[in-house]
């Protein structure tokens, strides 16, 4: 018995629906495998360092011990705490990171808003120069900056970081300006126009209308700046020659083969102490990310960086 036209149409629709479901299922499996692979590549080295930071030195010489410590200990963290002079070093690093983050966020917000809303001669050329500066290695600017700050007597003070942050020449400052410019471009101009109609000037419109609306991206920029400054070893090691930060302490430990002052002379034991230092270094930033993660999705969606 031949199928009617309606039955053929229904059969074709069912086949297409089944094909779509199969395609979606295949894509879901592929996406899951891809995400699992990325997570493994990113998280496995961290897991390895964390597990070894709780090992005793005997575990390194035990071929049966891989990732689970046979002699669980926190001695590595105690020794790292003493080596870093942790309370003082933590306060110094946290203070300079927060100060730099505030300066960079403020300057990037001003400059990004100017690029997004005001038309002036040379705007496109300046923005192109900003994009070019984003790909210039900071090492190229390090020596001129050092000579300038040394001549002004600002070495071993926070002022080099503050001045670079306020003048948009700090670490990754060009990226922050770009992010905020994109975010302001995504905000409707009608908001400012309504403020101008009510008699507000540019400054009042910025502080009362645009600035509150840009809080998600500002928090994101603040977080990026704080993390990059926290992990910075290039500028910190040059501008802080007598002041120790978390990264400089950990880097200094990488060049030490004997900690006889702490009762440690085995290079393998020093390696375990380094692993403990790595966790102490990244743990505060992980906590900061957990508190600020809800701002990421909103800021990226409205900045025009996707799609």
Task: Please say whether the beta carbons of 63 and 263 come within 8 A.
Answer: no
> Per residue in 111-131, pLDDT tens?
999 998 888 888 889 888 888
249 has which bridge partners? Answer: none
> Per residue in 42-64, pLDDT tens?
888 888 888 988 998 888 888 88
Cα distance between residue 165 and residue 108, in whole Å: 9
Cα distance between residue 191 and residue 225, in whole Å: 29
* 65 or 100, greater pLDDT: 100
Q: Please give the CATH topology (third level) of the domain spanning 84-303.
A: MetI-like fold (1.10.3720)
Q: Rounded to whole angstroms, what are the CA distances from 138 to 142, 235, 239, 245, 305?
A: 6, 9, 14, 19, 24
HSE-up of residue 208 (Cα within 13 Å, Cβ side): 14
Which runs of consecutive H residues, i.e. helices, occur in 66-172? 75-84, 86-117, 123-134, 139-151, 159-166
* Among candidate residues 191, 201, 185, 227, the one with its CA nearest the CA of residue 94: 227
Indicate whether 250 pLDDT > 90: no
> Per residue in 255-284, pLDDT tens?
666 676 677 777 788 888 888 888 888 888
What residues contact residue 185 under an 8 Å CB cut-off, 6+ apart?
116, 304
> Per residue in 211-239, pLDDT tens?
888 888 898 899 999 999 998 888 988 89
- Lowest pLDDT segment from 4-8, 35-39, 95-99, 250-254: 4-8
* Among candidate residues 221, 200, 192, the one with its CA nearest the CA of residue 303: 221
Q: Is 38 helix (H, G, I), strand (E, B) or coil?
A: helix
Domain boundaries of the chain, sorted by first residue: 5-53, 84-303
264 has which bridge partners? Answer: 259
């Amino acid at each position: 018995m031949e199928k009617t036209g309606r039955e053929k149409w229904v059969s074709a629709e069912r086949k297409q629906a089944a094909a779509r479901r199969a395609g979606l299922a295949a894509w879901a499996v592929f996406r899951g495998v891809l995400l699992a692979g990325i997570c493994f590549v990113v998280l496995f080295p961290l897991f390895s360092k964390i597990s070894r930071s709780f090992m005793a030195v005997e575990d390194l010489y035990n071929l049966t011990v891989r990732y689970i410590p046979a002699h669980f200990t926190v001695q590595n963290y105690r020794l790292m705490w003493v080596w870093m002079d942790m309370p003082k070093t933590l306060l110094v690093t946290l203070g300079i990171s927060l100060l730099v983050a505030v300066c960079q966020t403020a300057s990037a917000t001003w400059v990004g808003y100017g690029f997004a809303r005001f038309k002036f001669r040379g705007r496109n050329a300046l923005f192109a120069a900003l994009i070019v500066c984003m790909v210039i290695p900071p090492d190229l600017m390090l020596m001129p900056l050092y000579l300038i700050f040394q001549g002004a007597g600002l070495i071993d003070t926070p002022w080099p970081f503050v001045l670079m942050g306020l003048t948009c020449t700090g670490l990754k400052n060009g990226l922050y300006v770009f992010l905020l410019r994109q975010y302001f471009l995504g905000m409707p101009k009608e908001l400012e126009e309504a403020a101008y109609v009510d008699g507000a000037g540019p400054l009042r419109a910025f502080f009362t209308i645009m600035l509150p609306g840009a809080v998600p991206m500002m928090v994101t920029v603040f977080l990026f700046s704080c993390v990059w400054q926290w992990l910075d070893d290039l500028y910190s090691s040059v501008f802080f020659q007598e002041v120790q930060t978390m990264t400089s302490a950990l880097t200094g430990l990488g060049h030490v083969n004997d900690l006889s002052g702490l009762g440690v002379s085995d290079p393998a034991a020093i390696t375990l102490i380094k692993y403990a230092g790595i966790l102490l270094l990244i743990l505060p930033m992980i906590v900061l990310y957990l508190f600020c993660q809800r701002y990421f999705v909103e800021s990226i969606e409205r900045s025009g960086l996707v799609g």
